[in-house]
Structure 1
Amino acid sequence: MLKSLNTAATGMAAQQTNMDVIANNIANVSTNGFKRSRAEFEDLMYQTQKEPGTASGENAYSPNGVQTGLGVRTAAIQKDFAGGSAQVTKNPLDLQIEGSGFFQVLTPDGQVGYTRDGAFKKDPNGRIVDKNGNVLQPEITVPPDVAGLEIAATGEVRVIQGLNDAPTTIGQIDIVNFVNPAGLKAMGKNVFTQTPSSGQAIASRPGLNGTGYLSQGQLEASNVNIVDEMVNMITSQRAYETNSKVIQASDQMLQSINNLR
């Protein structure tokens, strides 16, 4: 059987994965704090008929050799943690990290999750939570009937009880950073979890140790560029079609062999 059949099939599978990644990027173009992904590929092993540099005569060596590739596979799906644009909401509990870093939230299973989505709210007890009810860490409880809520760029949370009262500090929002953010595991719901590849979480106040400052009243939009994704989609589609043409051509070659008399 022609090796090109399997080789082209691996190409079609790779482009299908590529299209899945692109589709997920486009689907999340309006998701707060979403980071686009890109599929990365690598070639498979080679069938070597003649090693490069093999002696071909006295004091003569083959300059290239004869090696036939056997296809491609998905090596990784890389997250792009470039910042998204700012969306002004004027909601006092909407926060954007202007730079590197993640908010910490406590998931229902007791695990600490990390998110760039700063659309926070208050639960019935006054605790600051995300849209899924995960409690912001360190935990901060907003007293009832406050006249105003202020979150400084360095994460200090202050409230004003009365119009003539001085602001009172009720907590501090710390953010964390990682040596390799691309190694975080995406869990859905805009939450990542730590892995051995990401390294340990390094907590600090906003603006310290390379982290960004906080901006109150605005959110970070998705960093997906819809035009780039459309171009990538067309490129992936054409590559998929070309690989299918290779399978058709290989099938026709096999048919010609079968028709020999």
Structure 2
Amino acid sequence: MPFNVGVTGLNAASADLNVTGHNIANASTSGFKESRAEFMDIFAQSYNSAYKTATGSGVRLASVSQQFTQGSLNFTGNSMDMAINGQGFFVLERDGVTEYTRAGQFQANQEGFVVNAAGQRLMGYPPEGGNLLAPIQLTTGDAEPKVTSKIDVLMNLSAEAEPIDGDTIGIDPADPDTFNYSTSLTVYDSLGSARTVSLFFQRQPPPEDKSWNVDAYMDVGGDLTSVGTGGLEFNSDGTLETVTPLRIEAVDLPNGAENLGIDVDFGQTTQYGNKFSVAALRQDGYAIGQLVSVDVDTDGTVFARYSNGTDRSLGRVALANFTNPQGLQSVGGTNWAVTPASGEPVLGAGGESNFGLIQGGAFEESNVNIADQLVKLITAQRNFQANAQVISTADTLTQTIINIR
């Protein structure tokens, strides 16, 4: 009867309104994916000996499917926010229950674990490697120091420098007449304490005027102490010919640090022109470092960056993908759960095959287009009115028949 057909139409239009309203309500929800109401007609067939007749019986809601198209990225500057630019889902766990999400608004809880607003932990691969998932946990302690073991010197000693008087014995840092040039740099002991090393260069008199003595001094306990000697000899074209190795050795440091042993590499030193210049003094140690920031690379690696210029991997964010994402079951909180229709998750990391890149400092916005949803809202309203008119018309016809005398 037309009444039943109209009722199915009202139910369908009402379901369409519910789906559209849900989309509009979550237009600002991070990681939300819009839904689409899908309908099927109800078709009843009857046969008799003379005619074959087919009568439509209305419509029914076949499915509400989510559309996993990419949402826009909102750059927040919050280092813990993450967005997936491409395919994949973040893996969340709490109390043994695993869920999946595209919402990347994360923060660190009091234990240092990266969690979402619901307290679910973000899962990833541990920094030591392996394929077993574990919660990503931030370490807020200081970075350990590294003792200096090598110094690389890049400089030019002037070919016009006056040789030091041959009667002078050794280099005296307190007497400028005993050396031509000096330069200093900071090195670090095993406890991360900074110590200043000064290098003094003394040109030899003829016929050894292509040779230089090099002495190293360090401030140890307030006293400038000799910690190593070496020598340089140059070719006629200004390039380095031979080196008497300089090894800096400092013992019995007052802070109790291990004895220092530093090799100095003069391999790039030259003797050109009339200008002394120091292009670079590089050493491989560093002091203790305080945590400055936590950053996320495009492959999902979470780095802790420290004030001493070092960084440390805290793990790698895991991503999951599915053969049929539309088969996932929405469980609220912008999360989904595995179903037989979705298939089992395939795990990986950002940038790998079938997985998008991870953008740190941003989150994915809802993929709801408000303009489209408002048009659908008007269409659903018109459909509801039209189906209500079908029932009203059927009622008028029925009343006419009843009034026949």
Task: Give the structure-2-normalised TM-score.
Answer: 0.59
Which letter does structure 2 place at the counterpart of 1:157? Answer: V
Which letter does structure 1 place at the counterpart of 2:30? Answer: N
2:75 is matched with 88
Q: Distance in 1 between matches of 2:136 and 2:119?
A: 13
1:25 is matched with 23
Q: Secondary structure of the equivalent of 1:239?
A: helix
2:296 is matched with 151
Which one has a larger percent strand, Structure 1 or Structure 2? 2
1:48 is matched with 46
How far has the Cα of 1:158 moved from its partner? 1.2
Q: Distance in 1 between matches of 2:88 and 2:46?
A: 47
Q: Are 2:216 and 1:218 equivalent residues in the alignment?
A: no
1:104 is matched with 91
1:81-120: CA deviation from partner (whole Å, max 9, x where unpaired): 0011111101000000000100000134x21100000000
1:46-96: CA deviation from partner (whole Å, max 9, x where unpaired): 13246xxx9x7xxxxx8xx42111111000001000011111101000000
Q: Which runs of 4+ in 1 moved over 4 A?
A: none
The aligned runs of 1:224-239 (5 Å cut-off) are 224-239=368-383
How far has the Cα of 1:40 moved from its partner? 0.2
Q: Distance in 2 between matches of 1:208 and 1:169?
A: 19
Percent identity among equivalent residues? 35
Q: Distance in 1 between matches of 2:45 and 2:4?
A: 13
1:126 is matched with 112
How far has the Cα of 1:5 moved from its partner? 0.5
Instruction: Report the number of matched residues.
Output: 246
Q: Distance in 1 between matches of 2:78 and 2:8?
A: 49
Structure 2, unmatched stretches of 5+, are: 125-134, 142-290
Q: Are 2:123 and 1:137 equivalent residues in the alignment?
A: yes
Asked if the contact 2:2/2:391 (under 8 Å) is kept, the reply is yes
Q: Secondary structure of the equivalent of 1:70?
A: strand
Asked if the contact 1:113/1:192 (under 8 Å) is kept, the reply is yes
Asked if the contact 1:47/1:70 (under 8 Å) is kept, the reply is no
1:126-155: CA deviation from partner (whole Å, max 9, x where unpaired): 000011110111311111252111211001
How far has the Cα of 1:165 moved from its partner? 3.7
Q: Distance in 2 between matches of 1:157 and 1:147?
A: 14
Q: Secondary structure of the equivalent of 1:173?
A: strand
Q: Secondary structure of the equivalent of 2:381?
A: helix
1:11-50: CA deviation from partner (whole Å, max 9, x where unpaired): 1001100100000000000000100001000011313246
**Larger Rg, first or second structure (1 or 2):** 2
Which letter does structure 2 place at the counterpart of 1:120? Answer: F
Asked if the contact 2:43/2:54 (under 8 Å) is kept, the reply is no
Asked if the contact 2:39/2:62 (under 8 Å) is kept, the reply is yes
Q: Secondary structure of the equivalent of 1:174?
A: strand
Which letter does structure 2 place at the counterpart of 1:141? Answer: Q
Q: Secondary structure of the equivalent of 2:83?
A: strand
Residue of structure 2 aligned with 1:71, choices 55, 58, 71: 58
Which letter does structure 2 place at the counterpart of 1:153? Answer: T
Which one has a larger percent helix, Structure 1 or Structure 2? 1
Q: What RMSD in Å do the two structures reach over aligned CA positions?
A: 1.4
Residue of structure 2 aligned with 1:35, choices 27, 33, 36: 33
Q: Are 2:344 and 1:200 equivalent residues in the alignment?
A: yes
1:59 is matched with none
Structure 1, unmatched stretches of 5+, are: 57-61
